[in-house]
Amino acid sequence: MNAVDIVLIVVGFIISLVGLIGCVAPAMPGTPLNFLALILLSLAKDWQPFSATFLIVMAIITIIVTVLENVIPAWGARKYGAEKASIWLALAGTFIGLIFFPPLGIFIGAFVGALVGEFAHGKEASTAFKAGWGVFVGTFLGIGIKLVASGIMFFYFIRNVF
C-alpha cells in the first residue's frame, strides 16, 4: 500500500464520520458522504473490497434514502393535516433549531415551526399539535433511515479497511 492509498483511506474514514454526523444535521448529505467513503476505499484498494454489484446497490440505497429523507417529514406533516406554510416553517425551524440548540433543536425547531404555521392559519391547538407531531415523527423517521443506511456503509468501510 502506498502513501496515496493511505491518504484515500484516511480521507474516506473522515468523510464517513462526517457522513454519520450528517445524518442528524439536515444541511449535510450523510448517506452520500458514506457512499463516497466506500468509493474512496475501493480506489485505495484497487476495487477489491467491494463488488460492482455491491457498489451499485449502495448507490441505489443512497439515492432512495436521499429522496426519502426529504419526503418523509412532509408526508408526516401532510398525514396529520399540516398546511404547506407549516411545512416550510417546520423546515426553517429545523435549521434554526440546529444552529441554536443542536442536536435536539432539529426536532424542537421543526415542531415549533409547524405549530407557528398552523396557528398562523387559525387552526385550533389540537389540530396544530397534530401537525407538529406529524413533522416530528416524519423528521425522526427520516433521520433514522439515514442512520441505518449510513451505519451499514460505515460498517462495511471499517470491515474492509483491514
Task: Domain ranges for the chain, please list them.
Answer: 3-161
Q: Whole-number mean pLDDT of the chain?
A: 89
List C-alpha distances in Å: 152 to 62, 104, 133, 142, 156: 11, 24, 29, 16, 6
pLDDT in tens, 16-68: 999 999 888 766 789 999 999 999 999 999 999 999 999 999 999 999 999 98
pLDDT at 26: 66
Q: What is the mean pLDDT of residues 64-79?
A: 84
Helix axes 30-44, 125-161, angle to 10 degrees: 10
Helices in the chain by DSSP H: which ranges?
Answer: 3-22, 30-44, 52-79, 84-100, 105-120, 125-161
Separation of alpha carbons 149 and 78, rounded Å: 25
The answer, yes or no, to whether residue 85 has pLDDT greater than 90, is no
Q: Tell me 49's DSSP state.
A: S
Q: CA–CA separation, 44 vs 53, rounded Å?
A: 18
Is residue 105 over pLDDT 90? no
Among 65, 68, 75, 111, CA closest to 91: 111
Instruction: Spell 66-105 as b/e; 16+ CB within 10 A means b.
Output: bebbeebbbbbbbebebbeebbebbbbbbbbbbeeeeeeb
d(CA 149, CA 146): 5
